[in-house]
Chains A and B, each alone.
Chain A
Amino acid sequence: MKKTLLLIVLGVLSLTMWAQSDLRTAILQHDGDVSVFKGATAFADAYAIAVDGDVITLSDGTFTSTPIAKSITIYGAGFESDEETNTAITTLSGDLIVGVADATLSGFHIEGVKVNGRLRAATNSSNSTTAQLQNCIFKKCYVTGDFTFSSNIENVSIEQCLLGTYINGTNAVVATNLMISNCYVTRNVQLFNTQSTVLLDHCIIGWNYNGYGNKPECLYSAFTWTNCIQLGGGNWSSPSSTGYNCTIINCAGVGNGGTGSTTSNCYNVSGGEIFVNGGAYTETNTFELQQPDVWVGTDGTPIGPSGGIGWNKVPCMPVVKSLQLNVDGKTLNVNYEADPR
């Protein structure tokens, strides 16, 4: 009997290890129809048959990335693991390319995903002024590489995201209403055409852009910074060029606004000194301010990611917090707990 029981346990363990990869699931919701895909390519498989308006929900695990050219919604389990909030990690392995050259992708939404690579909008052909992305939302995502727009964009929102390097365009890219809110940008935001309207609100902007010293660098473009914190200690824009016309309001971080820029109600305090637990990114850092009543933003909340809509990495979808199964003869007893969030 003992020998038989041991064999069963070993069998379950080996099957569990084999089947770990099969826990990766992508569910494609097309109106009332549901399709399930499993394994590393589940996301790509689901995307292949998705149409505009569909929703793809990913389990935790690592999925092969695939270029996105459809107006769909993608939900993942999160970009960091947190038992307290029942958040797990959904990773897209490889660069994520969004959009199609010389066409407009409108209404795309991605939330709760770690992109283990670069996130890039597709590139239009030269001289094309087509808005590559329009009305798109990137929310509660972690992009380990750069987040680059190679063509014009319109009404794009980047919220509560962790950017491992920088967000940038080119001096030819017109970003109309690019909204970056409550994000942690490890390096900087840079390089959009002077006709762009880029608003950064309640963000942390890092520094150490190679060879350029300590600055967030609103190069070539008229950024508006509200309620942000700069960690680097340099100017808000490169002093070596003209026409920046940045507007910097209720921000912290020493340095001036750069050529043509205006500052208002800013706090002359080093960005790295105002946090309770420092300004470096860690999974547990909530970026609370030592003096939240002093370093206040335009909306009356503390500056930085802890103010405004807050630094919240938990995806908006409901979650199954716990699930226990017990086999009793011919009956499977299921006990679970769910949170609507």
Chain B
Amino acid sequence: MNIIRKIAFIAVVATGLTATAQESITQRECWIDGNIAERQTIAEASAQIDITALLPGIHTFVMRVQRSDGIWSSPVTRFFLKLTDPVETTITHCRYWFDGNENAAVVCDIQSNRSTSTGVVEIDVSDLEQGEHTLSWMMGNSKGAWSQEYTETFTIELPTAIDTVSSEPLDSGCVWYNLNGQKLNGMPTAPGIYINGNKKVVIK
């Protein structure tokens, strides 16, 4: 093989796959979690990929580019973390007890279910005797956390005298009490003086 043929051989072989200066990036592909079947084309030097369908956690992102001569780059892999979607926190429960007796605490489901709770909770105190009591309570949210304990003092007073007798129609929807402050099961039939709503009532 003479020198000229040798040099020609060199030129042909050595320049076989050398990219020219005119080559450019013509295609960009990416896929997530190895799912190349659903790979996406990235059009520009930056892209926004919708990851709504991904579960929270760590995922892989792979990307490669193709040159105008059809040759692809080596794939490049990166990790990214998708956080749990934020959920609105609401007040969902309350827990209360009387006179320090936390063992008898009652948990109630609050219908307010609002992010800020300013609602009213009706608590039945009919079983409490006349006098001063404490009410302790805690508020719970949708994430299962409880507030600190709050305590208030209140007094149950029952009427000791009959000031007036009302002739107005009876409010059958209100609770009936005797003069001892004891709650009755409905409208009494025995003659006597009772409390109904905010009225003193005489039943003959």
Do B71 and A318 touch across chains, with their CB atoms under 8 A apart?
A: yes
CA distance A11 to B45 in the complex (A): 31
Interface set, chain B 1-33, CB cutoff 8 A to A: 1, 3, 6-7, 9-10, 13-19, 23-25, 28, 30-31
**Residues in A whose Cβ lies below 8 Å from that of B36:** 34-36
A320 at the interface (CB under 8 A from B): yes
Question: Known contacts A197-B1, A199-B6, A316-B17; is A325 also within 8 Å of B74 by CB?
Answer: no
Summarize A's interface: helix, strand, loop or mixed: strand
A71 at the interface (CB under 8 A from B): no
Do B14 and A309 touch across chains, with their CB atoms under 8 A apart?
A: yes
The stretch among B59-67, B124-132, B152-160, B175-183 that forms the contact with chain A is B59-67
Nearest residue in B to A299 (C-beta to C-beta)? B7
B51 at the interface (CB under 8 A from A): yes
A306 at the interface (CB under 8 A from B): no
A298 at the interface (CB under 8 A from B): yes
A230 at the interface (CB under 8 A from B): no
Shortest CB-to-CB span from A75 to chain B, Å, is: 7
Do A327 and B13 touch across chains, with their CB atoms under 8 A apart?
A: no
A282 at the interface (CB under 8 A from B): no
B50 at the interface (CB under 8 A from A): yes
Most buried by B among A60, A159, A334, A336: A334
CA distance A236 to B140 in the complex (A): 90
Q: Which of B61, B63, B68, B79 contacts A340 (CB 8 A)?
A: B68
**Residues in A whose Cβ lies below 8 Å from that of B46:** 333-336
Do B13 and A179 touch across chains, with their CB atoms under 8 A apart?
A: yes
Do B68 and A137 touch across chains, with their CB atoms under 8 A apart?
A: no
B81 at the interface (CB under 8 A from A): yes
Most buried by B among A38, A298, A324, A332: A332
**Residues in A whose Cβ lies below 8 Å from that of B150:** none
**Residues in A whose Cβ lies below 8 Å from that of B82:** 327
Shortest CB-to-CB span from A24 to chain B, Å, is: 9
Q: Which of A36, A159, A327, A338 contacts B51 (CB 8 A)?
A: A327
Nearest residue in A to B14 (C-beta to C-beta)? A309
Do A201 and B10 touch across chains, with their CB atoms under 8 A apart?
A: yes
CA distance A36 to B34 in the complex (A): 7
The stretch among A12-20, A121-129, A162-170, A211-219 that forms the contact with chain B is A12-20
CA distance A266 to B89 in the complex (A): 85
Do B45 and A159 touch across chains, with their CB atoms under 8 A apart?
A: no
CA distance A341 to B46 in the complex (A): 20
CA distance A59 to B60 in the complex (A): 15
Interface set, chain B 49-80, CB cutoff 8 A to A: 49-52, 58, 60-68, 71-80
**Residues in A whose Cβ lies below 8 Å from that of B9:** 177, 179, 199
Shortest CB-to-CB span from B4 to chain A, Å, is: 11
The number of chain B residues touching the other chain, given as a range, is 35 or more
**Residues in B whose Cβ lies below 8 Å from that of A150:** none
**Residues in B whose Cβ lies below 8 Å from that of A75:** 71-72, 74
Nearest residue in A to B39 (C-beta to C-beta)? A34
Nearest residue in B to A76 (C-beta to C-beta)? B74
The 0/1 profile, CB within 8 Å of B marked 1, for residues 48-59 of chain A is 000000010111
CA distance A109 to B30 in the complex (A): 26
Interface set, chain A 15-29, CB cutoff 8 A to B: 15-16, 19, 22-23, 25, 27, 29
A317 at the interface (CB under 8 A from B): yes
CA distance A12 to B6 in the complex (A): 57
Do B72 and A341 touch across chains, with their CB atoms under 8 A apart?
A: no
Question: Known contacts A29-B72, A199-B9, A341-B19; is A332 also within 8 Å of B63 by CB?
Answer: no
Do B3 and A57 touch across chains, with their CB atoms under 8 A apart?
A: no
**Residues in B whose Cβ lies below 8 Å from that of A313:** none
Shortest CB-to-CB span from A141 to chain B, Å, is: 14
Do A57 and B75 touch across chains, with their CB atoms under 8 A apart?
A: yes
B83 at the interface (CB under 8 A from A): yes
Nearest residue in B to A309 (C-beta to C-beta)? B14
B48 at the interface (CB under 8 A from A): yes
What 4 A-B pairs are tightest by C-beta distance, nearest first? Answer: A332-B49, A157-B13, A320-B76, A338-B65
B→A interface (CB under 8 Å):
1, 3, 6-7, 9-10, 13-19, 23-25, 28, 30-31, 34, 36, 39, 42, 45-52, 58, 60-68, 71-83, 85
A→B interface (CB under 8 Å):
8, 11-12, 15-16, 19, 22-23, 25, 27, 29, 34-36, 38, 55, 57-60, 75-77, 88, 90, 109, 111, 137, 139, 155, 157, 159, 177, 179, 181-182, 197, 199, 201, 224, 226, 249, 298-299, 308-309, 316-320, 323-325, 327, 330-341
10 contacts between A and B (CB under 8 A): A27-B64, A36-B62, A55-B72, A59-B74, A181-B14, A226-B3, A299-B7, A317-B72, A325-B61, A336-B46
